[in-house]
Chain A
Amino acid sequence: LSVCFRTVEPLEYYRRFLKENCRPDGRELGEFRTTTVNIGNIFFSSGSITTADGSALVKLGNTTVICGVKAELAAPAADSANKGYIVPNVELPSLCSERFRSGPPGEEAQAASQFISDVIENSQMIVKEDLCIANGKLAWVLYCDIVCLDYDGNLLDASIFALLAALKNVQLPSVTINEETGLSEVNLKQKTPLVIRKHPVATSFAIFDDTLLIVDPTAEEEDLGTGTVTIVTDEEGRLCSVHKPGGSPLTGAKLQDCITRAITRHKEVKTLIDKVIKS
């Protein structure tokens, strides 16, 4: 009977749970789903993705996101001769959810790509000057491909987490420029890890009925909700991004509650990443 009610009146069904301060899957309003992360060389002897320079797989409940980082060489742009490039790209293939059709990237994928690019820039987690090898001649380009394998809400949190974990896994070979020939020589045996200065962590909320904020929404909760908010914080408690793309209005105080929860979440994620990297 409850299955019928859930299909016919999903909003009412949810409201019954929210009144008791919990959700149908048993979580509290401020509770995240089980987060697991596999970085690089955990799966097998050669990483989640064997062809990538760094990779990570993140699961937030059912939402599964994999990130692969490939490093290539390119000439820096004329106006920023000492900067490399970081190119994030989020893909939502039709295999992850029935809501996405195959074909050119839809609005959600493009908006997510833009969001991740902004977070990398705002948080300065990778400083582009660090990616420069020879001023004006050679620099690294990091292609970060984030693919969603199973979409169950909260894409942004999982993507940022996967990106951070994959970048921590990246080992860049040393590159020298031969003075006589002017060509670059890549030494694959000598690798150094990427310099990651900040560790941004995203926390997303869905707004319900203009008043309630629930953390880590599933796909169903996102559809029933009337808005979303994503807060990205770094380890110093600074805000890297407040992303509220329209939706129900919020007061400054409610935003403050979100930020407080985001700061707590940052600590949880940081301990998880450190634990996984050590093992």
Chain B
Amino acid sequence: PAPASPPCPPRTGDTSVLAGLYGPAEAKLSKELPDRAALEVLLRPKVGLPGVLERSREQQLRQTCEAVVLGVLHPRTAVTLVLQVLSDAGSLLSCCLNAACMGLLDAGLPLSALFCGVTCTLDADGSILLDPTTRQEQEARAVLSFAIRSGDRKVLMATTKGSCSVEEMQQCLAAAQRAADTIFQFYRDSLCRRYSKD
């Protein structure tokens, strides 16, 4: 039987995503990989059926998780991550990333590093705003989302919406890397709280 990690809902403001992680479990013959675990991510929107946008996000999340999960320790198994969007008030992708990482942590999967998601917006005069609401995202000139790895703060995933100059992108990246510290501290605090009760 596949151990299911208890769902954990991280919130970014009013955006919340529920993550459920199953695995490492037996994989279907068509999906199993001979030397590593096969990761699958399913993103379910709040309303409607998953469409092309969800598939694109699933691919980004999957490849981000694959970069940190030590899949070689569990060959021929399947790890499934199901993300259900409960409410969306902006910064959805980074909320999904944070949910995914906490799910991986909670399930006890072997990881080489942690990651966190940060979204930032650039408005018309070039000022950077972190963790925007839906309204701020719509009004911004550009919205950039990054997945930052713990430790060396390297970029695991990057997506941009709208256009910006190269310098602005580098500034946003630097701001995101600084903000990552706060999120990793939050991970630490949550885990301490969880394990101090047991």
Contacts and interface: CB of A to CB of B under 8 A. Distances in A.
Contacts of B59: 107-108, 111, 245-246
B113 to A, nearest CB: 8
A231 B59 CA distance: 17
Interface string A213-254: 000000000000011010000100111111111111111100
A114 B161 contact: no
Contacts of B160: 122, 239-243
A197 to B, nearest CB: 12
B65 interface: yes
B163 A114 contact: no
Contacts of B159: 242-245
A259 B170 CA distance: 11
A255 B163 contact: no
A246 B60 contact: yes
Contacts of B144: 242
Interface in A58-92: none
Task: Report whether over half of chain B's contact residues are helix, strand or loop; otherwise say mixed.
Answer: helix
Interface residues of A, number: 36
A248 B144 CA distance: 19
Nearest to B159: A243
A234 B163 contact: yes
Q: Is the interface of A mostly helix, strand, loop or mixed?
A: mixed
Contacts, number: 106
Interface string A106-128: 01101101110110011110000
A190 interface: no
A238 B155 contact: no
A250 B155 contact: yes
A110 B57 CA distance: 10
Interface string B152-194: 1011111111111110011001100100000000000000000
Contacts of A259: 166, 169
A227 B154 CA distance: 14
A123 B62 CA distance: 27
A279 interface: no
Given A122-B161, A227-B67, A256-B166, A247 B156 contact: yes
Contacts of B53: 114
A252 B155 CA distance: 7
B149 interface: yes
28 contacts: A107-B59, A110-B52, A110-B55, A111-B59, A113-B52, A114-B53, A114-B55, A117-B52, A121-B161, A122-B162, A227-B63, A238-B164, A238-B166, A239-B164, A239-B165, A239-B169, A241-B160, A244-B156, A246-B60, A246-B65, A247-B64, A247-B67, A248-B67, A249-B156, A252-B174, A252-B177, A256-B166, A259-B169
Given A111-B56, A114-B55, A115-B56, 12 more contacts: A114-B56, A118-B161, A121-B161, A237-B165, A239-B169, A246-B60, A246-B157, A247-B63, A249-B67, A249-B154, A255-B173, A256-B170
